[in-house]
Structures are given as structure tokens and as C-alpha cells.
Homo-oligomer: A and B are copies of this chain.
Amino acid sequence: MTDRNLVLGIDIGGTKTSFGFVDREGTLIGATSMPTEAHDSAETFVTRLHHRIEEIREDLLSPHHLCGIGIGAPNANYYRGTIEKAVNLNWGDSVDFVGLIQRYYDLPVVITNDAKAATIGEMIFGNARGMKHFLVITLGTGLGSGIVVDGRLLYGYSGFAGELGHTVVDPAGRQCECGKRGCLETYVSATGLVRTTLMLLAERCDPSPLRAMSYEEMTARRIFELAAKGDIIALEAFDRTARILGLKLADAVAHTSPEAIFLTGGMAMAGDLLLKPTQQYMDDSLFGVYRGTVKLMLSGMEPGKSAILGAAALIWNELAS
């Protein structure tokens, strides 16, 4: 009997770090999580992480061979192996995170941001299997994206290609955390949906349970639940979101001409309420030569597992090429 080949996938977030072991078929075992405690130094964090990983490895029932470690993290630089100026992690301008992990593991280690990891996950384990040209859009607090061209994730000259969340909808528009105005993610994201809802409550007179909620109480999920019940403000908020997303996705198609665009992340759970009007608005805005060439779809990844599977897919992808 030969040892089972496994890859360790790690998803680092501002509050929680999740990891687990993934085989070539995408089976996830030993998944667990721990607090990130981002006030600690990166060294302290990696020491804690290493101990926790080894505890879980001892509990894995079957003998296994660890082939590599894939990591999804905010502001990760794939080319340099670093995490740089991550707002939610108190780790300074640049941490050689791959180097820190390799102090404990003499293995291939790859790091990239969470949206890029989700993109590779879609390619290896999800609905993009076999596709050479596609996009993944992650709709969470912000809007992340990954672009695959000729079967490879696009990093570009800077290492940061594919930040569609910071393309501009309106140069005089909403303030963005990044310092610019009118970025796509200020309109299309969980936060963007809440902002649009507030605008509509100001513009319109329709009664709605949303009028009883503060900005802080309002969430994309609550707006979705009300939209599903026919709330006019909530429905209009989704429609405006879809219109802006559709328009900017048509622009994205005019750049890389993908076969499909996958939506994932919390807001993608709105399903057809978001997907159908977005497809319609995108099709209306497409340049003629692209019409009928691009599908808008939901991700094929299980929401609770996609971050770890995506991180692990980074290694399976490199081992395959």
C-alpha cells in the first residue's frame, strides 16, 4: 500500500485561519480552524500554525505523503512569496511568508491572494475544469477576481493582475477604502449592496423593514431575504447592483474574452436574483463579436470548503504543469 498524496491548504483571514488536507480528487480531510490573532508577529503566528498542523496530522488515520503547501492570504504576492501591507494583519510592509513556512517544511510552498486561490480551485476542482479562458469574481466584503488566460492564472508584470474590484464605475463616485473614488467594489459587494440600499431609502418613499435598520445592522443577507419576499427597495438594490456588475463584466470580456465568468462568495448565494439580471445587463453591453461566447455561472465549489480547496489547488496546479 502506497502513502496517500496530500496537499495542505491554508486560508488566512483577518480573524480566522482555516486549513485542511486535500487529495488530487479534491477530498478534504482534517479541516480545522484557529484564531489568526493578527496582533501577533508573523513569526509567532507561523509557530502556532505549525503546532496546530502537526496535531491534526497525527490524528489523520491513514499514512500520507505531504506534497506541498498552498496558502491564500490577503495582499499575498505570488512572485515574491510575501504578504504585503495587509490591512487586517499587523505584519508590516512585507513578510517573507513562504520563507517562514519553509523553516518548518522543506516542501513546495505557494502563496497568493484569496480570490486567486478561489480561481485556481475552480479550475482544478470546480466548474472551470477544462476551460482555458475564464474569470472568477468573489463577492464578499469587497470584490476580488482572478483571470485565467490560456489555462494559466494571470499575474502580469506587477504580480497583481486581476483587481477588477478597483476598476472605476464613476470617477466622482463613492469613496473606496483604497483611496480612490467610484471603484466597482464600492457598488458590487456585500458592503456595496448595503450602500446602494441606503441610497435607495434616501431617494424613494416605499415602505420597507429596511427603514428600521441602521447601516451597521444592515447586511447583504438581510437585504437578500427581503428581496426574496418582494421588498421593493431590496429588489431595486439587487437590480442596480446587477446593472453595474453586468456593465463592468462586459468591459472585462472586451479585455480577455473568457468562455465563462463564475460568481462566488457570500453574495453569490443570492443565486438567480443576482445572476439572471447580471447576465442580461452584461449581454446588453457586450460588443457584437462577443455575443453568445460567454456564460455567467455560479461557482461549482462548496462555499464552506472553497477557500481551503482553492489554496490546496495552487499546489496541485503547479505539480500538474
Contact = CB atoms under 8 A, between A and B. Distances in A.
Contact of A257 (B160, B254, B287): B160
Contacts of A180: 285, 287
A256 B33 CA distance: 34
A243 to B, nearest CB: 9
Interface centre among A154, A251, A254 (most CB of B within 10 A): A254
Interface stretch (A7-15, A21-29, A145-153, A205-213): A145-153
A258 B162 CA distance: 11
A257 B157 contact: yes
B289 A254 contact: no
A247 B294 contact: no
Interface residue SS majority, chain A: loop
A1 interface: no
Contacts of A162: 254-257
A73 to B, nearest CB: 15
A80 B110 CA distance: 38
A155 interface: yes
A168 B250 contact: yes
Contacts of A155: 257
Contacts of A247: 168, 171
Nearest to A243: B171
A34 interface: no
A178 interface: yes
A184 to B, nearest CB: 9
B154 A254 contact: no
Interface string A120-158: 000000000000110000000000000101101011111
Contact of A158 (B164, B171, B289): B289
Nearest to A77: B289
Contacts of A183: 287
B257 A255 contact: no
A254 B287 contact: no
Contacts of A179: 288
A167 interface: yes
A161 interface: yes
A293 B255 contact: no
A290 interface: yes
A152 B160 CA distance: 18
B158 A255 contact: no
A259 interface: yes
A2 to B, nearest CB: 36
Contacts of A164: 254-255
Contact of A147 (B150, B251, B256): B256
B254 A157 contact: no
Contacts of A57: none
A147 B290 contact: no
A23 to B, nearest CB: 30
Contacts of A251: 167-168, 251
Given A147-B256, A155-B257, 14 more contacts: A133-B161, A149-B150, A149-B156, A157-B258, A157-B259, A157-B293, A158-B257, A160-B289, A161-B256, A163-B287, A168-B250, A171-B247, A183-B287, A252-B255
